[in-house]
A and B are shown apart, each in its own frame.
Chain A
Amino acid sequence: DTAVSQTPKYLVTQMGNDKSIKCEQNLGHDTMYWYKQDSKKFLKIMFSYNNKELIINETVPNRFSPKSPDKAHLNLHINSLELGDSAVYFCASSHFVGYEQYFGPGTRLTVT
């Protein structure tokens, strides 16, 4: 009965590879987010979707492409991975934009 789940929890891959992270929420929320938390622990928003529509798209390389097949899912695909992409990626959801958010457990991505 996990509220916000992400897979995989850990991802180790080589530079240049393409990988995807999946996120699902069973809270019935309308809005979902992707955040990146780097080694300095700063949590920075990357994307936000509301009812499957992209509403926030921060300055993120276009190697990162979010996809929302339905309100309950928001996936993140990353092309041509670079060393600097190593971080923890958190998915979150909220009832509406600006409301309290609930986070998934995170995906720890290591690019070697």
Chain B
Amino acid sequence: RKEVEQDPGPFNVPEGATVAFNCTYSNSASQSFFWYRQDCRKEPKLLMSVYSSGNEDGRFTAQLNRASQYISLLIRDSKLSDSATYLCVVGAGQGGADGLTFGKGTHLIIQP
């Protein structure tokens, strides 16, 4: 199974700041991309899908760069409640037929 790599952090960021994470993937045939969020002792929850043209959901913006094989997540005006582990997820194989591969996550701590 091909890898998905993320900086584990932790990223310590003051409340209200903007923070960005990158994630690289090794399988050039990957077709689907997501960011998940996991709170301590909870299940992963879908934050947003990542589309080729980039997409935005409120304070969150995701970008995909197929040429360099990385995806990014930008969080603006960060809130205390944004503290969590952010998982980069890539659909392996053509059309994601081999299922999803999860990165090990980036730990974000928003400080008051």
Residues of chain A touching chain B, judged by Cβ–Cβ distance below 8 Å, are 33, 35, 40-45, 48, 55-56, 58, 90, 96-106
Q: Given A41-B105, A45-B99, are A98 and B46 also a contact pair (CB < 8 Å)?
A: no
Residues of B within 8 A of A40 (CB): 104
A-B pair count, CB < 8 Å, reads 57
Q: Given A33-B99, A98-B32, A99-B32, are A41 and B43 also a contact pair (CB < 8 Å)?
A: no
Residues of chain B touching chain A, judged by Cβ–Cβ distance below 8 Å, are 1, 31-32, 34, 42-46, 49, 85, 87, 91-93, 95-102, 104-105
B1 x A98 contact (CB < 8 A): no
Residue of B nearest to A59 (CB): B1
Q: In the complex, A73 Cα to B93 Cα: how many Å?
A: 26
Within the complex, the shortest CB–CB distance from B41 to chain A, in Å, comes to 8
Q: Given A98-B96, A100-B46, A102-B46, are A58 and B102 also a contact pair (CB < 8 Å)?
A: no
